[in-house]
Structure 1
């Protein structure tokens, strides 16, 4: 897939409608959250080199809302990620999911997982962290968000980013990383993995992982736990022994209702305990 040039990405960037092509057919277990009582939909976030699209959901009335950054899987900000923002908004949060691959390509239109991975591999961590900084700034200045009540959660690719952003921005009050890769080979674009920042972490991050995840070994989870012991963050990792990768993804066969619901309740309690409410 041809990479979008920086001059063109502003004009062509849009959010996905519906679910990503690569995740069809959609499971009957899919959760759909309505927009009643919410202001929800696409917005544009000013960033260093233009604008990126994002999906924002927030209560229709009020102000000074706690902020939750919702970080996408490799499939982009498609309907599942948008629905998660609405779930947060129903609970009184300003939730926002920026489209972090937009310069590299529109993964929602790709059906081949290898093509999607090729696009995602071109996304620099530095760009992602900068875009998230800009998203927080926008949430505070333009969307009635409270900078002192900032949380982040992400899934799969976004789980890794959750750990990294918590290390990058100490103003984050709490993070919840769902089955994000912890160990990997450093590259120029992705120079660090969560295990590399674990001992220096000051922000409390809750990691939620599946014991049957074939892509994230329990050995790496234990390595991460060991590194976290030397940090001041009071971070924790929970492993659901019978859960596979993507057990929260209600639109996919990997969904495990029991573990997903328990993980969601743990997330809400973690945010409350650490000042994101």
Structure 2
């Protein structure tokens, strides 16, 4: 039996990023009954990477690992809630604060400033390495190194595609409305469209037909790239959903699409060995 390292968790109420307004009445709050959940830190590249962890109380593991990748707004209440929902499904869910070296997204009052002053300065290479460190740490907390999945939203959806081409240990990925292409910079040298041939894990993409930031012609181009690469991947487009349709704390939330996407995500993980 694997013995997990001692784990210290802090229980705090992480507020929503100020740039997110208004908040919707549809916000879901998942309790911690039957799970262990809280904030912690992970040694990474000589620093302490803040993270939120949720896992079942019962059982000694090894637990199935799901990396949860934040939106542009950081690991706020909604991302923490997603971790708790996954823990109630039996997963060890870990959401690292992937901007922590560059700044705190919770301190920004508007999205354009958040994007230009913080998000644009976060290198993909740094993010992928931090996700590696989070994965290794999760294994030491009782996670199963052979059953690792990833899911992410918006900014995190794009990262989920990239991570599926980065970590050969990954079993499956689910990307929620992550952009397929964009400007290539020193911090973002490649985008999902560029790495379709490099995917080493099956990827499910969940997108909205009404998403003005990811037009349907981009979805079709990505599908073509995946077919050309003979990649194991599927993209589902919800006709009535826009961007951030899973974000129940925002007016963009589309309940039917979000609930269907959640079930598809769980089925995808189960189909490809994270079950």
Structure 1 residue 114: Cα displacement: 1.5
SS across alignment from 1:237: strand
- The residue number in structure 1 matching 2:160 is 162
Q: Indicate conservation of the 8 Å contact 2:156/2:178, yes or no.
A: yes
- The residue number in structure 2 matching 1:91 is 89
68, 71, 77: which one aligns with 1:70? 68
What is the alpha-carbon distance in structure 1 between the residues aligned to residue 219 and residue 187 of structure 2? 23
What is the alpha-carbon distance in structure 1 between the residues aligned to residue 145 and residue 255 of structure 2? 33
User: What CA deviation, in whole Å up to 9, does each residue of 1:48-80 have, x standing for no partner?
Assistant: 131110000000122100000000000000000
Q: Taking structure 2 as the reference length, what is the TM-score of the superposition? A: 0.93
Structure 1 residue 22: Cα displacement: 1.5
Q: Indicate conservation of the 8 Å contact 1:166/1:172, yes or no.
A: yes
28, 37, 51: which one aligns with 1:40? 37
Q: Indicate conservation of the 8 Å contact 1:202/1:231, yes or no.
A: no
Q: Taking structure 1 as the reference length, what is the TM-score of the superposition? A: 0.92
- The residue number in structure 2 matching 1:132 is 131
The alignment yields a C-alpha RMSD, in angstroms, of 1.3
- The residue number in structure 1 matching 2:23 is 26
- More displaced, 214-223 or 85-94? 214-223
- The residue number in structure 1 matching 2:251 is 253
Verify: 1:186 aligned to 2:175, yes or no: no
- The residue number in structure 2 matching 1:197 is 195
Structure 1 residue 111: Cα displacement: 1.2
What is the alpha-carbon distance in structure 2 between the residues aligned to residue 208 and residue 112 of structure 1? 26
What is the alpha-carbon distance in structure 2 between the residues aligned to residue 126 and residue 32 of structure 1? 33
Residue segments in structure 2 that go unaligned for 5+ positions in a row? 1-11
What is the alpha-carbon distance in structure 2 between the residues aligned to residue 225 and residue 241 of structure 1? 17
